[in-house]
Amino acid sequence: MTGRPWRDVVLPPVAERFCRYAEVWTTSDPDSDTFPSTQRQRDLGRLLVEELTALGVDAEEDAWGYVLATLPSPLPPAEAGALPAVGLVAHLDTSPDAPGKDVRPLVHERYGGGVVALPGPAPSGERATLDPDRQPALRAHVGQDLISSDGTTLLGSDDKAGVAVLMQLAADLVAAEADAVERGERPAARPELRLLFTPDEEVGRGTDKLDLERWGADLAYTVDGGAVDTLNVETFNAAEAVVTFEGRGVHPGYAEGVMVNAVRAAAAFVAALADEPAPETTGGREGYLHPHTVGGTAERATVRVLLRDFSDNGMEDKRQRVRQRAAAAGERWGAGVSVEAEESYRNMKAHIESVDPRAVTVAVEAARAMGFEPALAPVRGGTDGARLSEKGVPTPNVFTGGHDFHSVFEWNTVQNLERTLAYVGALVRQWGAAG
């Protein structure tokens, strides 16, 4: 079973929209000094503006590549004014961790539970497969219609799934509210919605240039999560340490008593982190230290280390351990050492609770109105919601149903996309009821 091209399958609107957006190349670039980091993200942004405008929605792309759109509340002004302006957020870019050009979505109808062979060779040269032994979440989706790439690229469910859900929600709301007015009925109550599509989330810059006042949301939700029926209400605290070792270069034939090899010091530092918690050995609420880039020469070598922890105390402890191990490695090899740590984002839970905890309580009530109890899970990664919450707009994260992000083995299902759309619609209605 290798699946069929998505255009050969009859799909519900949200799934069709997702596959169409997935084909647009929007990979961001962490090494770029522009914003957005790649202009190709604007291709999708311009498409969204065109589609929203065709629906009659006020939409624009600003100078930085943010797409902003407003769906006014259908309630009378006095009632609408009692509700917050609710932001709904998804990001335009896909991760640079796997190829993102020429994505070809395939649909594997009625998944039977076995290994799915994808037609294209993975970047490693081996044929890519979806394998429940390696990807156990597949077992919970037997009978559903899987969506994957052809195995040569990522799929882009992170976060084209969120983009498709919000765009389909806008189309559905516009149609339903126009139909209600035509029938002489009052449209379903909901708050004003402020849609936001951000560039460069995958490289940690998704909110760097955002004009919060222009956007105008009082609280928000990123539609950028994973497993269905899961809400993320807290994240890691995150920082990156850049550890630099300064050596002394000389001809190696005459180096005795003179050379100081910065590469050896860097290697000793990385070796000293071997017993620290790592991404590949931790889960749940466990933090880690992750040396992810090493480079340099005997004269100067640099190691970049990601620091992650859910608590402030745990984060400070990790900073101290990096400094101590760097100093010890430098002393061992006689190298100079400098450590620069830059904060990336902070745990959003405290910000949500202090500004407007209804961002969580109403989200839970919406799930219960649909008949399920949501899992409130910490997210082991950054979202635009963490940065927005820190800036004063409490922003939990909503599931999209995707799995195995940032890889050629990424997948979602038609049913998960429909589930996400149904939940976000319920969330909007719950805010209407809250007023």
Residues that are catalytic: 93, 201
Q: Give whole-number Cα distances, 126 to 65, 117, 121, 152, 407, in Å.
A: 37, 11, 6, 10, 14
Query: Which amino acid, 123?
Result: P
Q: What angle do CA 215, 219, 224 make, to 5 degrees?
A: 85
The contacts of residue 51 (CB under 8 Å, 6+ apart) are 167
Q: Give whole-number Cα distances, 112 to 115, 311, 405, in Å.
A: 9, 42, 22
**Contact, 397 vs 231, CB < 8 A?**
yes
**Contact, 71 vs 192, CB < 8 A?**
yes
The contacts of residue 331 (CB under 8 Å, 6+ apart) are none
What six digits make up the tokens of 375? 């899992």
Backbone angles phi, psi at 311, to 5 degrees: -115, 155
* Separation of alpha carbons 68 and 62, rounded Å: 8
What six digits make up the tokens of 314? 């745990």
The contacts of residue 320 (CB under 8 Å, 6+ apart) are none
Type and span of the H or E element at 231: strand 230-232
